[in-house]
A and B are shown apart, each in its own frame.
Chain A
């Protein structure tokens, strides 16, 4: 796969961006930008898991030699958790699931697709939804299976689908 480079925003090359600001108003703005950056980056890379202990280019800009320290990363990720854009997977390893669309939004996208393509009342495999040719131009194509599962579970509680499992691989029936 050919992956285009992620287009970092200008703040990324702005050294103070990597230090948590003291002034409350400024810090609020800074957090907002960081949140946007993380979501955009994860979406671009289709990366559902972010580990705050990884020395990823996301938190470390080689060009200006700046790094966002671990504590700050955690603060920002917590902010993301508060807005339903992330969830902590493991506290010890520092991994988070990132939702550039919230679970609620994902479930709407998926359900709308199922409705529009007349797939209600029929059984579909996770594989064909995530990797099939029919869903290639869909936003959830090749989405992380855990996130996808969470969105479907959300739909299931609303009675809009039912998840099935045979031999460890999953299918879903939309209603």
Chain B
């Protein structure tokens, strides 16, 4: 509503028909609660009044008041039952609203999943895989082209020569005749070791003698 001159409403109302029903139920509940409060108060007053009448010796009047009190107590019990029904209905309504939200959520999730699957067909995946393989091959081709394109074979020779030169200048010259400069490898055991061995042998002999 509102037509051309109406304010453009910022948002559609988020209040649903169910919300309105819940509100009505809850308002009804509030009314019953207020009613109960009132009855409870009048019950207390009646009790006090009945006691007063008894003290004054007005038995009949006291009885009348008690009768009224009894009637109101019955009313209270009835409203309690009504309240229970109302509250049960309200929570049922609220619970089904929650359930509806769950179902809505599931629906959205399902839709999204379907859409994703639409995009991801087997042919599509095959096509993508093919394309990427082609891409890799092409890249390799490019690599070899670039590598061979920049340096000619002469350049490669020059690079090799430079490498030789560098090796020669940085590493100490490894002599071919290095064997001649090294001392001879001894063929006998060193003197000290020999002595020790001999002593050990002697020791063992002595011990054997003792044991015998």
Q: Could you tell me if A171 and B13 are in contact, using CB atoms closer than 8 angstroms?
A: no
Q: Is the CB of A125 within 8 A of B26?
A: yes
Give, as a whole number of angstroms, the nearest-CB distance from B211 to chain A.
Answer: 94
Docked CA distance A125–B15 (Å): 14
Q: B-side binding surface: helix, strand, loop or mixed? A: helix
Known A-B contacts A122-B94, A164-B20, A166-B20; the reply to A173 vs B26 at CB < 8 A is no
**A169: chain B residues within 8 A (beta carbon):** 27, 30
B23 on interface, CB distance cutoff 8 Å: yes
A128 interface residue (CB < 8 Å to B): yes
Quick check: A175 and B26 within 8 Å, CB to CB? no
Determine if B30 and A162 form an interchain contact, defined as CB atoms under 8 angstroms apart: no
B contact residues around A173 at 8 Å (CB):
14-15, 19
Name the residue of chain B whose CB is nearest to the CB of A124.
Answer: B26
The residue in chain A whose Cβ has the minimal distance to the Cβ of B101 is A121
B22 within 8 A of partner (CB)? yes
Alpha-carbon distance between A128 and B13 when the two chains are bound, in angstroms: 23
User: CB within 8 Å of B: which of A122-175?
Assistant: 122-125, 127-128, 159, 162, 164, 166-167, 169, 171, 173, 175
A residues less than 8 Å from B55 (CB atoms): none
Determine the chain A residues whose CB is within 8 A of the CB of B97 once the complex forms: 121-122
Measured CB to CB, the closest approach of chain B to A94, in angstroms, equals 33
Q: How far is the CA of A123 from the CA of B22 in the complex (A)?
A: 7
**CB proximity of A33 to chain B, nearest CB, Å:** 40
- Find residues 81-107 in chain B having any chain A CB closer than 8 Å to their own CB: 94, 97, 101
A contact residues, total (Cβ < 8 Å): 16
Is there an interface contact between B27 and A125, defined as CB atoms closer than 8 Å?
Answer: yes
Query: Does B24 sit within 8 A of A, measured CB to CB?
Result: yes
Question: A157: nearest residue on chain B (CB-CB)?
Answer: B10
The answer to whether B27 and A159 have CB atoms under 8 Å apart is no
* A127 to B97 Cα, complex, angstroms: 22
| In the complex, residue of chain A having the shortest beta-carbon distance to the beta carbon of B23 | A171
Of A121, A123, A162, which contacts B26 at CB under 8 A? A123
Nearest-neighbour CB distance to chain B for A11, whole angstroms, equals 41
Output the least CB separation between B10 and chain A (Å).
Answer: 9
Confirm or deny: B41 has a beta carbon within 8 angstroms of a beta carbon on chain A.
no
Partner of B15, one of A124, A128, A162: A162
Interface CB pairs A-B, < 8 A, 17: A122-B22, A123-B19, A124-B26, A125-B27, A125-B30, A127-B34, A128-B30, A164-B15, A164-B19, A166-B23, A166-B24, A166-B27, A169-B27, A171-B26, A171-B27, A173-B14, A173-B15
Binding site for A on B (CB under 8 A): 11, 13-15, 19-20, 22-24, 26-27, 30, 34, 94, 97, 101
Further pairs besides A123-B19, A167-B27: 7, Cβ < 8 Å? A123-B22, A125-B26, A127-B27, A164-B19, A166-B23, A166-B24, A166-B27
Interchain residue pairs A-B with the least CB separation, the first 9 = A171-B23, A127-B30, A123-B22, A125-B26, A123-B23, A123-B19, A125-B30, A162-B15, A164-B23
